[in-house]
Amino acid sequence: MPTRKRKLGRGVALVGAGMSKFGAFKDKNSRELMVEAYQELIKSVDKGLNPKDIQAMYEGNGSSDLFENQIHTAPIMASWLGLVPIAATRIEDACASGGVALRQGVIAIASGLYDVVLVTGVEKMTDLPTEKVTDILAAASDVVYEAPAGFTFPGLYAAMATAYMAKYGAVPEDFMRVGIKNHENGALNPKAQFGSISDLMKSRIARAKERGQPVPTWKDEMDFMRDPVANPVVAWPMRLFDCSPISDGAACALLVSEDIAKNFTDEPIYIRGSGQASDHALHERASLSSVNAAQLAAKEAYDMAGVKPSDIRIAEVHDCFTIAEVMATEDLGFFAPGKGASCASEGYTKRNGPKPINTSGGLKSKGHPVGASGVGQVVEVWSQMRKRAGARQVTGDVPLALAHNVGATGGTCTVHIFERR
């Protein structure tokens, strides 16, 4: 049977978005974080939102059952948002839970089932010790063949980084520069968990002086990143600042059918393309230096939108580790295979570069509450395309943007393309 080009049954628009601050919040639970994100979303809808107009909610959530000992979270969140009795569905697809929830919302509207859908993502991770969180996250790998061999996610992505370096001649400093760039962007994002590497260096120097300890003599950010004490190896070549943090946070996006979008705002953002694909567990793949699911999801989204990688002005990509951003920029067609690392090192992906990547700070600096990350990317796209990103706003118009969300090592990937007309 011939493959048919996929298309949306009717147009879908983004008319509001909001998020909580990402970070570590001992005094807040996931419900309170969700309320914070939802309240910001309501404020973002230019012409106002009557909550009674929302017909369904799709919630991305990775592991509330393990992080918080709470299952069946979607109706609980709907209750806290005052949305009962609408249909409320939890989506679990590891770190891609938010992106898959977004896609389900798009499908629900494009099919004609609903006209107004709330897409949410939430995770509360920091109540548990790091060792326990690491074990929970490792359950998103293959627990029959990978986890028993001792693999955690830093180890799995280190294997991918090692394969990439061996194939293309990249060096650890290429990945370090990605981390520095994303922390620079995160410093300009009031919702981000962490700021710049330079600010971190200053605080550590000040703390050493205050405590009468030896004062570090780093010459620059790269000197700090090479320091085995300040930036220790987690799983070579991935060091501490190559890894995204453990985070709490929530994010929301409001989707409506295109024909009613201007009832909510005169500046809607339209979803031109949506793609999703799956892949084998990492140990079964032919290549460790690319993610086939990302390439396939991207092709589906590009074909649906009728655009090319070169048409995309900005992208939020899934940088759970710095190597993940490098591979994503190649899988999405922005750079040729093997060129993502060098292009990042040469500044192509900086906020003022020709292809800005992760202006929000990415998962690396903004934070990575796994169920919320994919929806958090949409919040940044919404802000940038409407020129409301403050100090991190890119120059010029953003007619097309892309969001790329990955589950685990690429077992799931979603790609969405957004248009401002």
- Hey, how many other C-beta atoms are within 10 angstroms of the C-beta on 141? 23
Residues in the chain: 421
Q: Cα–Cα distance between 387 and 393 in angstroms, integer?
A: 6
Q: Cα–Cα distance between 235 and 178 in angstroms, integer?
A: 17
Q: What are phi and psi of 352, to 5 degrees?
A: -100, 15
Residue tagged active-site, from 95, 320, 343, 413: 95
Three-state DSSP at 101 gives: helix
Q: What are phi and psi of 311, to 5 degrees?
A: -80, -20
Retrieve residue 88's tokens.
């409320």
Q: Cα–Cα distance between 88 and 110 in angstroms, integer?
A: 18
Three-state DSSP at 32 gives: helix
Contact 313, 399 (CB under 8 A): yes
Catalytic, 368? Answer yes
Residue tagged active-site, from 183, 318, 368, 416: 368
Q: Cα–Cα distance between 208 and 218 in angstroms, integer?
A: 13
Long-range interactions of 139-147: CB distance < 8 A, separation 24+: 139/63, 139/66, 140/62, 140/94, 140/95, 140/407, 140/408, 140/411, 141/281, 141/282, 141/408, 141/409, 142/281, 142/282, 142/283, 145/281, 145/283, 146/281, 146/282, 146/283
Instruction: Enumerate the active-site residues.
Output: 95, 368
